[in-house]
Structure 1
Amino acid sequence: MNSVSTSHPRRIGIVGAGAVGGHVAARLALAGHQVTLLARGATLEAVRAHGLRYATGGQASQRVEVRAEATPQAMGAQDLVILALKSQALPTVVPTLGPMLAADTPVLTLNNGLPWWYFLVPGQALEGQRLARVDPLGETERAVDISRVLGGTIMTSCHCPEPGVVVHSAGARLALGEPGGGLSERAALWSGVLADAGLGAVASPQIRVDIWLKLLGNICANPLSLLTGVTTDRMIDDPGVRSLFAAMMEECIALGRRLGLTLDTTTEQRMAQTRQLGAIRSSMLQDLEAGRSVELDAILGAPIECAQAVGQPVPRLQEVFALACLRAEGAGLYP
């Protein structure tokens, strides 16, 4: 196993060169690590020609030198692989990542919603259940053994105004940990590397709880922004939408507790956290406006799948999912 030293440069491959992937790549590259982005199309061309252009804290953008490659073969073996793709892309992309994986390379997942591995570790409700909404044929599960996985969640607001340009506007916390819980040497190592790069990283002994706590915000804000077209502050400040926001969140909290998760929060506390971030355009609203496929299945479909498996009623989640799917289908962005 690696030493816990975080001082020397690491080879870090980031799969997904969008807002979150670009934000993480920029911070790690500025900290001196050997960062390579797996990218395509206009983003690949822009990063190769101009570097990754990164702005944070309201400052002017700076050029950050990172490699950008079109294939895992060109990237080669990495010390860490970070998955920052939309969840719906994982079954297609992850099976191609073999050339990036050395014998002990961990794979850190930073996707929204429930990840494919969430129930593939022993000792919890629904143990062994594959999330059909996330990995319907098991391609991701077969491509990355659960022993490689480090679960992660990132609380940040970023956007890409154009290919190869990332603007970080709010948020600076990243939690990572072992899917089965507890603290490990490799979680301590990589949380240290990411923290030293200014990513606010911490090693979590209960990453499944952290992922569910983030889901509490996404499960409401993302589909409701898809339907309303407004920022999170406007949704929470509107009495009618706030009531629906709270009802959805209550269902998600109750479902998490039914699955055995210790969720030490309330809807009011969680909505207050979201409101403090200000006028946030959710990732799903950004995708809708940019004409990109939306992440409805991992964020809303998979929790509903879990609720059905344990017989937990989630009527508000189901109603909003139906409406959001119809809206996204009409825009040609789902499934």
Structure 2
Amino acid sequence: MAQTGRPEATDTSGHPAVAIVGPGAIGTTVAAALHQAGRTPKLCGRTPRASLELRDDRGRVLVPGPVHTDPAQAAGTVDLVFLAVKSTQVRASAPWLAALCRPDTVVCVLQNGVEQEAAVAPFVPGCPVLPAVVWFPAEAQPDGTVRLRGEARLTLPDAPASRTVREALSGTRCSIELAADFLSVAWRKLLQNAVAGLMVLSGRRAGMFGRADISRLSLAYLRECLAVARAEGAVLSDEVPREILESFHGYPADLGTSILADREADRPLEWDVRNGVVSRRGRAHRVPTPISDVVAPLLAAASEGPG
């Protein structure tokens, strides 16, 4: 599996050596945070690029590349890999993980869903796999840049492997929170991601949640998801569905979501980890999921066809 060579030092500050696999919207945001702090990571992806660019209300950050595209030329292992590819791309990232990881490399998964460890661990035997909840809205733009519409923040489990991530990002624009009850935090974010899937089915952005009918549907869907989350062991209050809906009411009307961007670009959708999981886990716990049982097949069809 992984190489056993010495880690490649990307800076001389004593911070962990870092690689980012998947320099899309989330990966670019983390790369920019590291670069601004003088800790430019190794960039690994499918498309060669000379640099990455992040833009927000404060200006722009240009992260020097190149984006490496050949795992055979990884040039050594690292202390920390941020895996920022979509869940549909994990298997395709296996050669990068094999090239960059040694048995003690921490793999921090910046991905949607509540099943990151199970999905990634088979590709990095012996490595700590650390799920993360990503809270910042970052959107890839048509010109290849990334637009960040908020502060960058990650929530991690309160676990030993999280120390490596905290050390790597200490003093950067990307803040880290540790959660003793990470399961509840992850399911709360999944509720948010699940209801955002309705944007794909309507072809509209966040402004659609201002409609009374969509608000009613969303609230019913969120309550259904909440019942499944609780069956899984998440501790979430009755107010969480309304709080999430109110957050959508407060978003800019033109704010999209990654699954909508994938639909617009005719790419495979992360429907299963964001929406299908609710039906799957509901069946396991005998919790009825009538809305999920409609939403998930429609998203699957939008992702995979035929037709």
Could you say which residue in structure 2 is the equivalent of 1:17? 23
- The correspondence for 2:123, drawn from 143, 157, 177, is 143
Deviation track 1:26-75 (CA, whole Å, cap 9, x = no partner) reads 1111111130121123xx2xx32xx212211263x342224421133322
Question: What amino acid is aligned across from residue 276 of structure 2 in structure 1?
Answer: G
Equivalent-residue separation in structure 1 for 2:180 and 2:71 (angstroms): 31
Q: Could you tell me whether the CA contact under 8 Å between 1:192 and 1:202 is conserved in 2? A: no
Question: What amino acid is aligned across from residue 24 of structure 2 in structure 1?
Answer: G
Q: Could you tell me whether the CA contact under 8 Å between 1:53 and 1:165 is conserved in 2? A: yes
Query: What are the equivalent positions in structure 2 for 1:149-298 lying under 5 Å apart?
Result: 149-162=129-142, 164-177=144-157, 183-221=158-196, 223-232=197-206, 234-264=207-237, 265-279=239-253, 280-298=255-273
Question: What is the Cα-based RMSD across aligned positions, in Å?
Answer: 2.3
- The correspondence for 2:38, drawn from 28, 32, 36, is 32
Equivalent-residue separation in structure 2 for 1:109 and 1:208 (angstroms): 15
2:14 counterpart of 1:8: yes
| Distance of aligned partners of 1:67 and 1:104 in 2 relative to their CA distance in 1, 3 Å threshold | farther
Equivalent-residue separation in structure 2 for 1:36 and 1:147 (angstroms): 19
Fraction of identical pairs, as percent:
27
| Distance of aligned partners of 1:66 and 1:13 in 2 relative to their CA distance in 1, 3 Å threshold | same
Question: What amino acid is aligned across from residue 256 of structure 1 in structure 2?
Answer: A
Structure 2 residue matching 1:196: 3-state secondary structure = coil
Question: What amino acid is aligned across from residue 68 of structure 1 in structure 2?
Answer: V
Deviation track 1:150-181 (CA, whole Å, cap 9, x = no partner) reads 1101111112224652121234321112xxxx
Equivalent-residue separation in structure 2 for 1:32 and 1:331 (angstroms): 48
CA apart distance, 1:214? 0.6
CA apart distance, 1:308? 1.3
Q: Could you tell me whether the CA contact under 8 Å between 1:108 and 1:149 is conserved in 2? A: yes
CA apart distance, 1:202? 1.2
Name the count of aligned residue pairs.
Answer: 293
Unmatched tracts of structure 2, length 5 or more: 1-12
Equivalent-residue separation in structure 2 for 1:273 and 1:204 (angstroms): 21
Structure 1 residue matching 2:259: 3-state secondary structure = helix
Query: What are the equivalent positions in structure 2 for 1:83-102 lying under 5 Å apart?
Result: 83-94=83-94, 96-102=96-102
CA apart distance, 1:189? 4.1
Question: What amino acid is aligned across from residue 163 of structure 2 in structure 1?
Answer: A
Could you say which residue in structure 1 is the equivalent of 2:8? none
TM-score with structure 1 setting the length: 0.80
Could you say which residue in structure 1 is the equivalent of 2:3? none
TM-score with structure 2 setting the length: 0.87
Q: Could you tell me whether the CA contact under 8 Å between 1:195 and 1:202 is conserved in 2? A: no
| Distance of aligned partners of 1:273 and 1:185 in 2 relative to their CA distance in 1, 3 Å threshold | same
Question: What amino acid is aligned across from residue 169 of structure 1 in structure 2?
Answer: R
Judge which range, 259-268 or 14-23, deviates more. Answer: 259-268
CA apart distance, 1:238? 0.7
Q: Could you tell me whether the CA contact under 8 Å between 1:15 and 1:38 is conserved in 2? A: yes
Question: What amino acid is aligned across from residue 10 of structure 1 in structure 2?
Answer: P
Q: Could you tell me whether the CA contact under 8 Å between 1:16 and 1:84 is conserved in 2? A: yes
Equivalent-residue separation in structure 1 for 2:175 and 2:150 (angstroms): 12
Equivalent-residue separation in structure 2 for 1:80 and 1:323 (angstroms): 37
Could you say which residue in structure 2 is the equivalent of 1:55? 55
